[in-house]
Amino acid sequence: MLLRRTYPELEKSLIRASLEWFPSEIGQYKDNKKRWEIINGSIIDFGYIQNRDDVFLYQSAEYDYIGFDELTHFTEQQYTYLLSRLRTTNPNIKPVIRSATNPGGRGHAFVKSRFVDPVEPYQIWETPEGMTRQFIPATVFDNPHIMEKDPEYINRLKSLPEDEMRALLYGDWDSFSGQVFKEFDHKIHVIKPFKIPDMWPKYMSLDWGFAAPFAILWGAVGPDQTLYIYREFYGCKDHRPNVGLEMDAREVALHTISKENEPVNIRVADPSTWAKRGHDGPTIAEIFAEEGLYMQRGDNDRIQGKMAVHDRLKVDDSEASMYIFQNCRNLIRTLPSLTYDDRKPEDVHRHSEDHLYDALRYLIMARPLHMTRKKRSRSISRDRVTGY
């Protein structure tokens, strides 16, 4: 099966190319079924997964080869579900899944963390589950057909905005079109942990997910109003790659308590944490309160919250007003990969991995950056992390 995100994309690219490239002697294309039927009995299906639940259209299917075109247009849930359709009863066939893509798009974060970040390019490595992965970078300079037949294409790419040019011309995974928080600089905003002074006010924020990951952050504010995100807790009820622990709300509350060895002044949470589940069940907020964790409703103004995150990330004379401890690896991984929403371009895409970002904006809105404040003291040593 070969996949694109939408049917129009599929029809204009993969299907059209197959009609041009495949000789009629090898088989016949069935337009009503959107597939090639090869004379040896093989089948090549063309599929698309536009919406979250479209993956279930392939629930009973079996493929020994799956190919994604523009993988970053898909979500991690869509990709990992299709992995369950990759199987065979033929001992002579090794099931394979291959993908092609550019940086950017809603799936940028999961593709980068799954393929680009773990090891050096070209290296084949094995996951704990016994699957092998490999990232093969390629740029337009590796395409002899374009370089020969359309040499001006390079100049057209160079005329694009900087971030889009770097992504499409050089395959830069740290700079891409649609990136929300361009201010984030790993060399500036990520620092080595230090002991938080006892007298600094401390905050905890929660973004709860009933069907999505839960995300908890802890932050402390120094005397110069600088915010330090010093701990994260990230997991979900159902196991997902890169997310971590599987546990219910009470387990999350108990684990949260076990992680703290300091008093927390204010706790804020997603307002949906107070939503009723069924007729008699307690809310998530009530479960946390039963374990001694009392929370306030966080400010869920998405646009104001986003602007507050921008303000915290701004750099003035190589100094920011927010730093993230390097042990908060999932926040560091997902924050710079967030993209704008297709339907609401001033907001972060709601189908991206935005759970820790949501927790971050609740925390920041609980302690917004003062419009006027004293110049930040340089007396605090910030040992920055210069590499990934």
132: which 2 tokens? 């092998």
Fold classified for 186-366: Nucleotidyltransferase; domain 5 (3.30.420)
pLDDT digits 0-9 by tens, 130-143: 889 999 999 888 88
pLDDT at 326: 96
Q: Is the pLDDT of residue 240 over 60?
A: no
The proportion of the chain whose per-residue pLDDT surpasses 70, expressed as a percent, equals: 90
pLDDT at 209: 75
Identify whether the C-beta of residue 97 lies closer than 8 Å to the C-beta of residue 69. no
| 211/232: higher pLDDT | 232
| Band of residue 7 on the pLDDT scale cut at 50, 70, 90 | very high
Scan for tokens 């079996």, then name that residue: 62
The proportion of the chain whose per-residue pLDDT surpasses 90, expressed as a percent, equals: 56
pLDDT digits 0-9 by tens, 298-343: 999 999 999 999 999 999 888 899 999 999 999 998 898 888 887 7
| Band of residue 48 on the pLDDT scale cut at 50, 70, 90 | very high
Mean pLDDT of 160-185: 81
| Band of residue 384 on the pLDDT scale cut at 50, 70, 90 | low
In angstroms, rounded to a whole number, what is the distance separating the alpha carbons of residues 245 and 242?
Answer: 10
Contacts with 376 (C-beta within 8 Å, 6 or more apart), sequence order: 224, 225, 226, 319, 321
Measured in Å, how far apart are the chain's first and last C-alpha atoms? 36
pLDDT at 113: 84
Q: What are phi and psi of 90, to 5 degrees?
A: -90, 115
In angstroms, rounded to a whole number, what is the distance separating the alpha carbons of residues 6 and 237?
Answer: 30
256: which 2 tokens? 């949260």
pLDDT at 193: 96
Q: Share the mean pLDDT of the chain.
A: 87
| Band of residue 262 on the pLDDT scale cut at 50, 70, 90 | very high
| Band of residue 243 on the pLDDT scale cut at 50, 70, 90 | very low
Where do the domains of the chain lie? 2-101, 186-366
Q: DSSP letters of 275-290?
A: --BTTTBPPHHHHHHH
Strand residue runs (E) in the chain: 2-4, 27-30, 35-38, 43-48, 65-69, 96-100, 125-126, 132-133, 190-191, 202-207, 214-221, 227-236, 245-246, 266-269, 296-297, 315-316, 319-320, 322-325
Mean pLDDT of 167-191: 85
In angstroms, rounded to a whole number, what is the distance separating the alpha carbons of residues 372 and 112?
Answer: 38
The amino acid sitting at 331 is L
| Angle subtended at Cα 385 by Cα 384 and Cα 386, rounded to the nearest 5 degrees | 110
User: Burial level of 253, CB count in 10 A (0-12/13-18/19+)?
Assistant: buried
The amino acid sitting at 61 is A
Mean pLDDT of 256-265: 93
pLDDT at 241: 44
pLDDT at 353: 84
Scan for tokens 């374009």, then name that residue: 146
pLDDT at 174: 76
In angstroms, rounded to a whole number, what is the distance separating the alpha carbons of residues 16 and 80?
Answer: 27
Looking at the chain, how many residues does it have?
A: 388
| 382/244: higher pLDDT | 382
For the chain, how many helices (H) and strands (E)?
A: 13, 18
pLDDT at 245: 53
| Band of residue 212 on the pLDDT scale cut at 50, 70, 90 | low
Q: Is the pLDDT of residue 246 over 90?
A: no
Per DSSP, the three-state class of 164 is helix
Scan for tokens 């944490």, then name that residue: 273
pLDDT digits 0-9 by tens, 333-376: 889 888 888 778 788 887 778 999 999 999 999 987 654 344 44
pLDDT at 382: 65
Identify whether the C-beta of residue 335 lies closer than 8 Å to the C-beta of residue 313. no
Rama region for 278: left / alpha / beta (φ>0; ψ in -120 to 50; rest): left
pLDDT at 118: 87
366: which 2 tokens? 């609980």
